Every structure is written in structure tokens, then in C-alpha cells.
Amino acid sequence: MRFSILGSGSSGNSTILECGSTRILIDAGLSAKQLCLRLESLSIDPASLTAILLTHEHGDHIRGLKNFLKKHPVPIFTTRDTAHVVKEQGIAAEWNTFEAGQAFPIAHLTIESFSIQHDAVDPVGFVFGNGTNRFGLVSDAGQVTSSMKARLRSLCALFVEANYDDQLLADDTKRPWSIKQRISSRHGHLSNAQVAELLADIAHPAMSRIVFGHLSSDCNCPRKVTTLFKTLLSGLGHPQIALACASQSEPTEWFEVTTPFRLTE
């Protein structure tokens, strides 16, 4: 099992996960053209996708969906409430709905869904398992909950948003107070400090990779994020965990979902 973040940020979010012949796109917030170009840059034929999963209905997570489906009619999996809102935008598809908290299979994978706090109708995170390794994905979550921690334990790899640094957000002059309040609310986005709380609880010796996404271009930066979490994880006794930050402008490399080599020797 491996994954790549096609793009992550306020202008569009999408991730590709591959396990054998199973290829799942999580969110489609980039334009249809960019989705295709970035998939093809990773040697993925857009027509070969098995399914598309949606975390929630905001534009930066579904922007390219309608046009992409016109050329590549891929089955969609999302919650019933999210499907209802997306359908109202005239997006026709083969809809497969589930309840937040439900687990379901897609080909070679078992997908566990779980509720997260965000200002959407029914936002969810996912954990993907192939019987051996587990990959978790959380984007756009306003707070770290006990149920989120429970779902994200025993992962081999994790993608999680680290949207802002508290001080940089407070000092930002571009955003009005109301926007800052929305970002930092219980239904907004995760800060570096909140992600640190999460990782302190779920990091373990068999975790090999964490990718951080949805970094604010004004209120966070990759260097700050990787320095902070490298120090944190090393202090917790987990220097084996490799760190990376996803970009808005280009896909990441492929990341394998596996345990550290030193644990399997």
C-alpha cells in the first residue's frame, strides 16, 4: 500500500491511495485537469480508479469532481448527508453511502470512517487497512477528540492537517478577526499545537511516516512544522518516523505504508 498527496491547501485537496490494483482517490478539490495531470505524473491512469471517497462537501475538496466524473465515471463513497449536499450541485454519479463510524470494504482494502469536528454537514476521516498495514487520513478538523485518537492508533502512516501556528495566526494582518475565529474554532482547522497533542497520544514504534498538509501559506511553513514535530517525536522516543509536508502546487512522491525496516529485520 502506498499514497501520494496530489495537492493540499485552501485551493484544493486530493490524495491517491494504491493497494495492488485498487486505486482510491480521496477528495477531488483540484480542477479536473489538474487531477488528471497529477495522477498521470505518478503513472496513474485516471480511468483506472476504483473509487472516489469524499471527506466532506467544501469546494476545496470537491471542486474538480463534476468535470472529472464526466470523463471518468468512478463510484463515489461518502456519508449520506454529504452525498445529499453534493448531489444538489448537479453532480451525477454512482453513489455509495455509509454512516460516519461505519467500516466497509473496497476491493483489497477495508476502510474505517470516523466523525470529525468541522463546519460541514457530516465530515469524516478515514483509516485504510490491507490486513497488514494501516494508513490514516484527517483533514479539516477543528479539534482533536478522544474518538479521533482511538481510531488513529496502531497506524503505520498518517496524513494530517497542520493548518496554522497559533502565534502566526494571532499576528496575521491579512485576516479579519472573524476569519481567525472560524479557523481556530472547534469546527475550524487543526493548529500545530493540536497536532502535537494528537501525535503525543498515537505515535508508536511501528509508525514509519507522517505527512502534514493544509499548511496555511501565511500562518505556517514546512520548516516550522518539520522542526517542531521532529523534536517532539524524537523526544517521545520515535526518531524512526519520517516527516514530510504536502504542497498545494505539486504532488508528493509516493510514500509506502509500512513499518520501519528496523522492526522487521
Q: Where are the domains of the chain?
A: 2-264
Domain 2-264 belongs to what architecture?
4-Layer Sandwich (3.60)
pLDDT given at position 261: 54
Structural contact between residues 75 and 101, judged by C-beta atoms closer than 8 angstroms: no
What is the rounded distance in angstroms from the CA atom of residue 118 to the CA atom of residue 186? 7
β-strands 109-115, 22-26 pairing: unpaired
pLDDT given at position 262: 46
β-strands 134-138, 255-256 pairing: unpaired
pLDDT given at position 259: 83
Residue pointed to by grid coordinates 469524499: 54
Sheet holding 124-129, edge to edge: 103-106, 109-115, 124-129, 134-138, 157-161, 209-213, 242-245
pLDDT given at position 186: 74
Please state the pTM of the whole predicted model: 0.94
pLDDT given at position 265: 37
Provide the residue-wise pLDDT of the chain in tens; the chain has 265 residues. Answer: 999 999 999 899 999 999 999 999 999 999 999 999 999 999 999 999 999 999 998 989 999 999 999 999 999 999 999 999 999 999 989 999 999 999 999 998 999 999 998 888 999 999 999 999 999 999 888 899 999 999 999 999 999 999 998 899 998 888 888 988 878 877 778 999 999 999 999 999 999 999 999 999 999 999 999 999 999 999 999 999 999 999 999 999 999 999 875 444 3
